[in-house]
Amino acid sequence: MIGQKGFALAPEGTVTTPKGFKAGGVHCGIKKVRRYDLGAIVCDVPAMTAAVYTTNLVQAAPLAVTRESIAREGRLRAMLVNSGNANACTGERGFTDAREMRSAFAAALGVPDHLVGVTSTGVIGVHMPMDKVRAGVGALANGLSPDGGGDFCQAIMTTDLVQKSVCVRLEAGGAAVTIAGAAKGSGMIHPNMATMLGFITTDAALNEGVLQSLLSETTDVTFNMITVDGDTSTNDMVVAMASGLAGNEPLHPGHPDWECFAAAFRCVSETLAKEIARDGEGATKLIEVNVSGARTDQDARAVAKTIVGSSLVKSAMYGSDANWGRIIAAAGRAGVPIDANTVDIRLGDIPVLQASVPIPFDEAAAKRYLDGSEIAVYVDLHIGPGKATAWGCDLTYDYVKINASYRT
């Protein structure tokens, strides 16, 4: 059933549900544990492709190689992904290995090299075991399937505890259209386009150029509004591929169905972003920070992300401590204008601060609320129309344990 927003979730769907896509995953030995570590999404036709990348000045070799591929004609047939090795800070050999991965998979598929993108996630500073990758590429190409979305999700996981996948359906341009997505990410999450990789597929036909604009704009309010630990990865990337096989009229911002399509695209991105935040390393709670009354939306984003990324706020949320002082302190250091005398704060439905003056509240009720697995914080600055939402997680002892021994 199509909902009030014009689209509906398809719980059974994966990245291969849109027409023209198949996927798969294999274990080739990059990881020591016997778990899938090489995966791919492949389209039957050259798919219109858009991408956004980490703004970290230290970038992994596969990002440059994928940029090369997309720049050629703006279309890809396939994305090849490995986990367990980031292929970052690996010198010229890293670029050689990334290009060899691209050419090997292209040969296995029988397509030109520039129609394949590659990306990697895992440990930084270790050369790719190319003998294992070469063997895995052939097995992966032979095992691709329209039912391979789950295997692909497993293949891209590192410290993730759960697979992250979403699919929506809608009517657009006179045809049934599907948008789906998969992502990985649990630690080193503070994207600026964590270690975060996102993949979005759709069978919609789109006018040239609009997919890149849509992806960039959507990323700013979804993937770029999450944080787990404040670290921006060398490998962050989100790629969107549109097969155009749905049979719809080409969509564009002036089309009457564009707003519905864009909303569905944002739903896919936001769902994946929130799942990454929820699955933060060691996390027990998803935290949502809603900021209103900022001077601009951009200012609201800065405040929301500063609050949700504060180690003190995150620790308080872990301990179910209604310490609103940490929230207003974080807002005040976000680097944008606020009026220190007009701030309201709520924890869920519990007001704790009004016009920057404390309000008596039931500490026991606040603790019961903060004991939950999902926490919403509301901050109204009362100085303008700007608003934004950011997502993160609590900071626990397990986060330190996981990252104290990540490489070893």
Positions annotated as catalytic residues are: 195
DSSP H helical ranges for 248-310: 258-278, 297-309
Distance CA 169, CA 264 (A): 8
Question: How far is CA 12 from its chain centroid?
Answer: 20
Q: How far apart are CA 101 and CA 93, in angstroms?
A: 12
CA torsion 260→261→267→269, rounded to 10°?
-150
What are residue 370's phi and psi, to 5 degrees?
A: -70, -15
Residue 57: Cβ-neighbour burial (10 angstroms; 0-12, 13-18, 19+): exposed
Q: Helix, strand or coil for residue 261?
A: helix
Residue with tokens 């207003």: 328
Given a contact cutoff of 8 angstroms between Cβ atoms, the answer to whether 25 and 38 are in contact is yes
CA–CA separation, 116 and 94 (whole Å): 17
Q: Which two tokens stand for residue 366?
A: 């606040």
Cα 315 to chain centroid, rounded:
23
The number of beta carbons lying within 10 Å of the beta carbon of residue 64 is 14
Count of C-beta atoms within a 10 Å radius of residue 125: 14
Strands 237-242 and 197-202: parallel
Largest CA distance in the chain: 69
Residue 224, token pair as written in the block: 């770029």
| Residue in this structure with the two tokens 């190319």, named with its chain if needed | 130
Residues linked to residue 64 through DSSP beta bridges, in sequence order: none
The alpha carbons of the chain give a radius of gyration, in whole angstroms, of 22
Structure tokens at 329: 């302190």
DSSP conformation letters of 276-287: HHHT-TT---EE
| Residue 225 structure tokens | 């509004």
Instruction: Select from 302, 277, 272 the least CA-distant residue to 288.
Output: 277
